[in-house]
Amino acid sequence: MAPAIRIERTRIPEVVALFPPEFTDPRGTFAETYNRRTFSALGIDWEFVQDNQSQSSTRGTIRGLHFQIPPAAQTKLIRVLRGAILDVAVDIRVGSPTYGRHVSQLLSQANKAQLLVPEGFAHGFCTLENDTIVLYKVTRYYSPSHERGLRWDDPALDIDWGITSAQALLNPRDREFPVLSELPNFFYNDDRRSAKSVEVG
């Protein structure tokens, strides 16, 4: 029997890190990074409809914090193909006991980790190495009219990105996103789509 996917729940239970098993032989390695049946058995039964891939040339590149609002809200499954990132998810579900809190997870080519970020969270990452490639699956198609963002350096979020504002490389648009206190209420804690339970054990 093949070894099971290892799952680690973060301090926000809906956000989980997954570590698919990797097999090594003289040719190199092989890993089944996504299997609909296997993930569904774990409670990860969203239908992913689009894959996105980004390449960041420079360490300290920050992409985020991004999300799409209903009815185009997305659950994301993120992994790194080359390099390393600090991946961050911020709970923006009004009424959630973890509203305004965040989790951060090291994702790298070396550790093969993936992060599941459900609807109701703003997502972003900071590259820890030059020439980093990130791939993420999403459950709804990209919709420019539904795209929103949260300010990456909002003091209320207290995110330690590992770099200073002067060192950060961002899209100018991302620097102009609102802080949490100015963000409209797009998600609520009773939205069951963003609160599915993932089995850990």
Concatenated DSSP letters for 79-137?
EEEESEEEEEEEE-EET-TTTT-EEEEEEETTT--EEEE-TTEEEEEEESSSSEEEEEE
Interval 8-44: pLDDT, tens:
989 999 999 999 998 999 999 898 899 999 999 888 8
pLDDT band at 3 (very low <50, low <70, confident <90, very high): low
Ordered domains of the chain (ranges, CATH): 47-187 (2.60.120.10)
**Residue 34 is a catalytic residue:** no
Radius of gyration of the chain (CA): 16
The predicted structure's pLDDT at residue 190? 76
Which entry of 34, 66, 123, 142 is annotated as an active-site residue? Answer: 66
pLDDT over 60 at 145, yes or no: yes
Cα–Cα dist 86/160, whole Å? 10
The predicted structure's pLDDT at residue 165? 87
pLDDT over 60 at 123, yes or no: yes
Q: What is the mean pLDDT of the chain?
A: 92
Give the rounded distance of the alpha carbon of 161 from its chain centre. 14
Cα–Cα dist 197/125, whole Å? 24
The predicted structure's pLDDT at residue 1? 52
Which entry of 136, 141, 142, 188 is annotated as an active-site residue? Answer: 136
| DSSP label at residue 190 | T
Alpha helix (H) ranges present in the chain? 36-41, 172-175
The predicted structure's pLDDT at residue 174? 94
The predicted structure's pLDDT at residue 198? 55
Q: Once rounded to an integer, what is the mean pLDDT over residues 68-72?
A: 97
**Residue 123 is a catalytic residue:** no
| pTM score | 0.91
Q: Which long-range contacts (CB under 8 A, 24 or more apart) does 158-162 make?
A: 158/102, 159/88, 159/90, 159/102, 159/104, 160/104, 161/62, 161/86, 161/88, 161/126, 162/86, 162/126, 162/128
Cα–Cα dist 135/157, whole Å? 25
The predicted structure's pLDDT at residue 199? 54
